[in-house]
């Protein structure tokens, strides 16, 4: 499947839906998805991509975003209401070690069954 087909077929869950407000952000999202698609099957490349996204998330959150936080209760309430209405707080989920090990055990089990 080519990159364009993957992008067209990409389905986001309601909680993961991103409200893209500009073509620039839309293009950025498509570029990231294309890089991920080209890296399919290469765990190290995908891990590197996830690390870059996490670093960027932290840089924006701790720098530019925090500088824009409201300084009074009314403005804070308005911001929190807008965040909730537009899908919640952005969060980058980290895979837990137990999930990783479960996948590893499942792969080992299927490999053992194939060898029999």
Token pair 């952005």 is found at 90
Kindly give the confidence (pLDDT) of every residue in the chain, 116 residues in length, as a single tens digit, with 9 standing for 90 and above: 444 444 444 445 443 444 556 888 889 999 999 999 999 999 999 999 999 999 999 999 899 988 888 888 999 889 888 888 887 777 777 767 677 677 777 766 766 666 55
Task: State how far Cα 63 lies from the chain centre.
Answer: 20
Every domain of the chain and the residues it spans:
1-68, 71-116
Pair 115, 45: CB distance under 8 Å: no
Pair 49, 87: CB distance under 8 Å: no
Euclidean distance between CA atoms 39 and 37, whole angstroms: 5
**Could you please report the per-residue DSSP string of 47-106?**
HHHHHHHHHHHHHHIIIIIHHT--SSHHHHHHHHHHHHHTT-----PPPPHHHHHHHHHH
pTM over 0.85: no
Pair 87, 15: CB distance under 8 Å: yes
């Amino acid at each position: 499947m080519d990159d364009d087909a993957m992008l067209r077929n990409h389905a986001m869950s309601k909680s993961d839906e991103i409200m893209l407000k500009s073509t620039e952000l839309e293009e950025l999202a498509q570029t990231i998805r294309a890089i991920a698609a080209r890296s399919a099957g290469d765990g190290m490349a995908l891990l590197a991509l996830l690390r870059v996204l996490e670093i960027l998330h932290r840089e924006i959150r701790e720098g530019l975003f925090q500088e824009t936080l409201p300084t009074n209760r009314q403005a804070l309430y308005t911001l929190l209401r807008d965040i909730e209405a537009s899908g919640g707080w952005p969060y980058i989920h980290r895979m837990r070690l137990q999930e990783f090990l479960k996948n590893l055990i499942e792969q080992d089990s299927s490999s053992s069954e194939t060898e029999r």
